[in-house]
Amino acid sequence: MIELRNLEKTYGETHALKGVSFSISKGEIVGLLGPNGAGKTTAMKIVVGYLLPTAGSATVAGLDVVSHPLEVQRKIGYLAENAPLYLDMVAQEYLEFMADMRGLDAVTRRRRLARVVEECGIGHVLTRPIGQLSKGYRQRVGLAAAILHDPEILILDEPTTGLDPNQIVEVRQLIRRMGKTKTVVLSTHILPEVEAACDRVVILIDGQVRADGALAEITRSRVQVAVLSTRDPAQVREELGHLEGVVSADSSDRGDGFHAFRMHLAGDHEIGEAVADLARARGWRMRELKRDDRSLEQVFRELTESAAEVVA
């Protein structure tokens, strides 16, 4: 549905995107993640035809965004960062204006307006000037305008910044509901957001894709932890280290006769059973056996740090 190939963008001296490639299939909900200034917003602005790329290409449903901007824009609903709106307009007027700009005929306009007003829960603020609405309602009016033409693709730039926790939950539910029928790309630097809503994450750091995959894949670490009781941790460490697929093992004393052993794995295959079998055979008592999955926060920090090392 969306495909970026070696996308580059420079603003004066700043190299915002340094060859970004990834593709998004129909129906996916993808989270675009990265620290501020990583290029998330720039990548989105190119896809929606607001900015032109310096090099590389972006296509939406097979159409190049530079040569066919209008066709691409018809397929996309876009909510820019901070939901910019005409603050002097009444919400209803704004939605009608957007419907006219999208070329919806009068019948479709009436039907879609009623629909998005209900979906976004803005019925009771329709007659109020947008400038007087709270941040949460502005965000919803922006979202309503973005889905007015029932687009196949929804692109949302930090849809929950500045909202209070209740509003965040509401907007997230809304996004998840949209995701059932649409391809959704959302950018954020709030990690629980991706965990809550996305099937897949693409992590951008310093204008480059640093990770791309299912959330579970990215957070899955290559460390197996087993907490065992033993008098001779060195021996256990030795034996665990010889299991197939284990590169090295270390241990730390838990102080009550138990030691936590951490096995670093070479690949992604499962060794839990092998550890359990070995423990049973040797008569070690086992309290815990788990894969030490990283939180997305950790993944993110590690990638950011390794990017910083490359620069340094």
Partner 1 sequence: MSAASAGGAGRIPSPVRAVAVRELRAYFDSPIAYVFLTVFAGAALFTFFNLQAFFTRGMADLRGLFGPLPLLMILLVPAITMRLWAEEQKQGTLEVLLTLPVRDVQLVTGKFLASWILLACGLALTAALPISVALVGKLDWGPVIGGYLGALMLGAAYLAVGQFLSATTENQILAFILGLVVCLGLYGIGTESFAGLFSDRTAAVLRAIGTGARFESVARGVVDLRDLVYYASLCLFFLAGSVMAVRARRWT
Chosen residue from 40, 45, 200, 237 binding partner 1 by CB under 8 A = 45
C-alpha to C-alpha distance for 207 and 19, rounded to whole angstroms: 7
CB of 79 to partner 1, least distance (A): 9
Q: Kindly state whether residue 91 participates in binding partner 1, applying the rule CB under 8 A.
A: no
Q: Is 118 exposed, middle or buried (0-12, 13-18, 19+ CB in 10 A)?
A: exposed
Q: Kindly state whether residue 76 participates in binding partner 1, applying the rule CB under 8 A.
A: yes
Q: Is 171 exposed, middle or buried (0-12, 13-18, 19+ CB in 10 A)?
A: buried
Q: DSSP character for 90? A: B
Site string for partner 1, 119-158 (x = CB under 8 A): --------------------------x-------------
Q: Tokens in use for 147?
A: 């889905």
CA-CA-CA-CA dihedral for 58, 23, 50, 110, to nearest 10: 120
C-alpha to C-alpha distance for 142 and 251, rounded to whole angstroms: 53
Chosen residue from 8, 64, 71, 152 binding partner 1 by CB under 8 A = 71
Instruction: Please choose, out of 56-64, 72-80, 114-122, 258-266, the segment that lies near partner 1 by the rule CB under 8 A.
Output: 72-80
CB of 209 to partner 1, least distance (A): 23
- C-beta closer to partner 1: residue 11 or 250: 11
Q: Kindly state whether residue 199 participates in binding partner 1, applying the rule CB under 8 A.
A: no
Q: Kindly state whether residue 17 participates in binding partner 1, applying the rule CB under 8 A.
A: no
CA-CA-CA-CA dihedral for 163, 87, 11, 76, to nearest 10: 80
Size of the site for partner 1 (CB under 8 A): 37
Q: Kindly state whether residue 37 participates in binding partner 1, applying the rule CB under 8 A.
A: no
C-alpha to C-alpha distance for 289 and 283, rounded to whole angstroms: 15
User: How many other CB atoms are found less than 10 A from the CB of residue 110?
Assistant: 13
Instruction: Please choose, out of 86-94, 184-192, 210-218, 267-275, the segment that lies near partner 1 by the rule CB under 8 A.
Output: 86-94
User: Site residues (CB under 8 A) for partner 1?
Assistant: 11, 45, 48-52, 69-71, 73-74, 76, 78, 80, 82, 84-89, 93, 96-107, 109, 145
